Amino acid sequence: MSRNQDEANKAPVLTISANPALDLSVGLAQLVPGALHRAESVELTAAGKGVNMARVLAALGHPVCVTGFLGKDNDAAFVDAFADMGVEDAFVRLPGATRINTKLTEQDGRVSDINAPGLALEEEHWQRLLDTLDQRLSQPQLRPAAVMIGGSLPPGIAPQALGELISRVKAAGIPVWADTSGEALRVAVKAGADAVKPNVEELADWAGRALPGDDAIHQATLELFAAGVGDVVVSAGASGVTWLGQQGLWQSLPPAVKVSNTVCAGDTLFAGLLHGVLCEWSAEQALRFATALSAEAVRHTGVGCSDAGDFSDLLSDTRVRRRNDVEARGVMA
């Protein structure tokens, strides 16, 4: 991705990864439970949703600061990654080691995740993160244009703490985009997150029911928007993206690509969409770019790259349409 996107240079972003990980990506021909496997590829990467989103935004020209919690024992990979990305490292260091998550990727693109719980935190650790956040919010030269929160919460931190963090950022007049799931998603919605990005499974969990088809997904998306979220972005893999907000209801269908690894696709989509919003692009342009960038990401390990030689073709082959101008809060009231 190019770093020469001048229109984004005045839009700094802060990303928060409370529970990052080193991703151990193992490529396999096919996963057979209980069998001996020989890996076709092995890669260890500093990751976590907030880190992945930072990688996308930094490559697109945004000044980015990353924060959250890292274990002192194995932070070298993160330090190197942040230097390569060109982002500011404001992570709180804790005793111990950052977790390692294992991603088993088969040739057909299916990924099996084995996620470790993460470092156990105490209240004083969380307070250190809040202090770091307050420092950046209170100083004009450090103040971000947006905050992205990604991933799960570490052991020892209740979901309600996320709500307090979101409320603190919103009180400073800064939009908060959150990509999380389960109870943390419910808390983020109640706290008034400006944007959330569930996949279909996470949306079904929030709604408390199965979502067997497009109509059911559409209805649950309306309900989530009506709950007070500024923008709802629902990712459904090859079936496309639904984006509902003040700009109306939009849908996109990605271009057909050979799927190799889907791990960073959602993070790429969300960060790419924020990029478009911060650049004040039209809804169609922003969604087209984010969808194409996400499609580029699934072709390899890592986030999407807008410098790919055929990225203009991916943009052209991404279908975007506006469905309607429904005011969901009025409909669902």
Residues identified as active-site: 267
Structure tokens of 241? 């993206």
Q: For 305, left (φ over 0), alpha (ψ -120 to 50), or beta?
A: beta
- Closest C-alpha among 257, 230, 236, 242 to residue 174: 230
Give the separation between CA 73 and CA 33, rounded to whole angstroms: 32
- What is the residue type of 169? V
Per-residue H/E/C for the chain: CCCCCHHHCCCCEEEEECCCEEEEEEEECCCCCCCCCCCCEEEEEEECHHHHHHHHHHHCCCCEEEEEEEEHHHCHHHHHHHHHHCCEECCEEECCCCCEEEEEEECCCCEEEECCCCCCCCHHHHHHHHHHHHHHHHCCCCCCCEEEEECCCCCCCCHHHHHHHHHHHHHCCCCEEEECCHHHHHHHHHCCCCEECCEHHHHHHHHCCCCCCHHHHHHHHHHHHHCCCCEEEEECHHHCEEEEECCEEEEEECCCCCCCCCCCHHHHHHHHHHHHHHCCCCHHHHHHHHHHHHHHHCCCCCCCCCCCCCHHHHHHHCEEEEEECCCHHHHHC
| CA max distance for the chain | 57
